[in-house]
Amino acid sequence: MEELLTVTNLKKYFPLQKGFIDNLFAKKKEFVRAVDNVSFDIKKGEVMGLVGESGCGKTTTGRLTLRLLEPTAGDVMYNQRSIFSYSKKEMQGMREKMQIVFQDPYASLSPRMAIGKAIGHPLVIHSNKNERETKERCLQIMEKVGLSPASFLYKKYPHQLSGGQRQRVVIARALITNPDFVVADEPIAMADVSVRAMLLELMVQLKEEFDLTYLFITHGLATAKYICDRVAIMYLGKIVEIGPLKEVFKNPAHPYTKTLLAAVPVPDPKYRRTHPIPKGEIPSAINPPPGCRFHPRCISAKSTCNVHEPDLVEVGEDHFVACFL
C-alpha cells in the first residue's frame, strides 16, 4: 500500500525558559528533547498507534505531523511532499485534508458557540458553501457521529451536552471537511468508562465510512489494541519499538514494551502479573540518560547500554526494535 505520511528523523527541542540572570551566566542553552530523531510512516487507510507514558513526546509528534509546531530538524512528507515546504497560505489549504481531534472536549469547544456553528466552522474557512449548504452538511455529519436528532442539538451549547456528546461534536468538526488524515490525540481519555467503548466503536466505523487514516495517540495499550493496525512505542522522545500491533503485543522485544504490557491493570481478579515492574520513573527529557534512554530502569541492561545508543533493527516482518538484546 501507498504511504500517506512519512516522518523522517524528526526532532523537536524546546528551549528551556530561564530567568534573565541565569541566561547571562549560562554556559549553553538547555533544551527539552521532546522528540528526538523519530522516523515512521503511515500507509493509506491504516491506523497507526503512538503509545507511551506522559512526557514521552507522543503529542508533540502528533502536532508536528500536522505542522502545528515547527520542527527543530527532520521532515514530514504528506503525499510525497514535505509539509514544511508549503507557504502559510498553502498549509491552510492543506488543513482541510489533515485534521485533529483533541483530548479534552471541554477545552477544545468554545463555550459561546452553538455546536452547530462550531461543527460548520471549518467549512466556512475552507469552502465557499453558502449558509444553507453548510447547515445541511453539518446536520448530515452530526447524524453520522450519532448526534441525533441533529436539528434539535444544532442550536445547543457545549455546556448543555454530556461529555460523550461533546467529544462527538469534536469528531464531527474534524470530519466535516472530508479529511484523509486525522490525528486523534487521546480522544477517549476524558470520557466515562461506559462511553469510551462507544466512542472507540464510532471512530472505527467512521474510519471505514470516510476512508480515513489515523494517527492514534494513546497511553492505554488496551485501547490501542482495539483500533490500531500498527503501533509505535515511545520512550523519552524516541521510538523504542514499532511494528504490526498483533506482533508487538504477542512478541514484545523491547524491555520497555514488555514492562508496559505487564503494567496494564487487567480487569480479572484471578490474573497475576508475571513480569516484574521496574523501580523508578521516567527521567527528565532535559538531560536524558546517555546510551539507551531506558537503561537505568531496564532489568536486562548490559554494560554497552549506557554508552551506545541502539538503532532500530528488524526482528520480525516489519517489526523494529531499538535494543542491544
Partner 1 sequence: MKTILEIENLAVHFPINIGTVRAVEDVSLTLKQGEVMGLVGESGCGKSTLGFSILRLLRPPGRIVKGKMLYHGRDIVQMSEREILSLRGRKIAMIFQDPLTSLNPLFRIDQQFMETLFTHEKRLSKTAAFRRAETMLESLGISPERLLEYPHQLSGGMRQRIMIGMGLILNPDLLIADEPTTSLDVIVEAQFLDLLNELRKKFNLTIILITHNLGNVAQLADRITVMYGGTLVEVGQANAIFDNPLHPYTRGLLSSIPNIKLDQPKLVTMPGSPPDLVNPPPGCVFHPRCPRAMEVCRVERPGVYKCDGRLVSCWLYG
Binding site residues, partner 1, CB under 8 A: 53-54, 162-165, 192-198, 200-201, 219-223, 225-226, 249, 259-271, 273, 277-279, 281-282
Take residue 52 and report the three cell numbers written for it: 507511551
Task: Please count the other Cβ atoms lying within 10 Å of the Cβ belonging to residue 147.
Answer: 25
- For partner 1, give the closer residue by CB, 208 or 281: 281
Ranges of beta strands (E only) in 58-207 are 73-78, 81-82, 98-101, 181-185
Nearest approach, Cβ of residue 89 and partner 1 (Å)? 40
- For partner 1, give the closer residue by CB, 117 or 275: 275
Nearest approach, Cβ of residue 325 and partner 1 (Å)? 19
Nearest approach, Cβ of residue 164 and partner 1 (Å)? 5
Nearest approach, Cβ of residue 287 and partner 1 (Å)? 15
- For partner 1, give the closer residue by CB, 88 or 270: 270
Amino acid (1-letter code) at residue 271: Y
Give the largest CA-CA distance in the chain: 68
- For partner 1, give the closer residue by CB, 250 or 308: 250
Q: Which three-class secondary structure state does DSSP give residue 11?
A: strand
Assess contact for 324 and 310: CB atoms under 8 A. yes
- For partner 1, give the closer residue by CB, 7 or 199: 199
Nearest approach, Cβ of residue 298 and partner 1 (Å)? 12
Nearest approach, Cβ of residue 245 and partner 1 (Å)? 12
- Report the b/e string of 221-239 with b at 16+ CB within 10 A: bebbeebbbbbbbbbbbbb
User: Could you give the CA distance from residue 311 to residue 121 in angstroms, rounded to a whole number?
Assistant: 44
- For partner 1, give the closer residue by CB, 222 or 313: 222
Take residue 53 and report the three cell numbers written for it: 507514558
Which of 163, 166, 164, 174 has its CA nearest to residue 141?
174
- For partner 1, give the closer residue by CB, 30 or 41: 30
User: Could you give the CA distance from residue 23 to residue 29 in angstroms, rounded to a whole number?
Assistant: 8
**Burial of residue 144, with CB atoms counted within 10 A of its CB: 0-12 exposed, 13-18 middle, 19 or more buried:** buried
Nearest approach, Cβ of residue 205 and partner 1 (Å)? 11
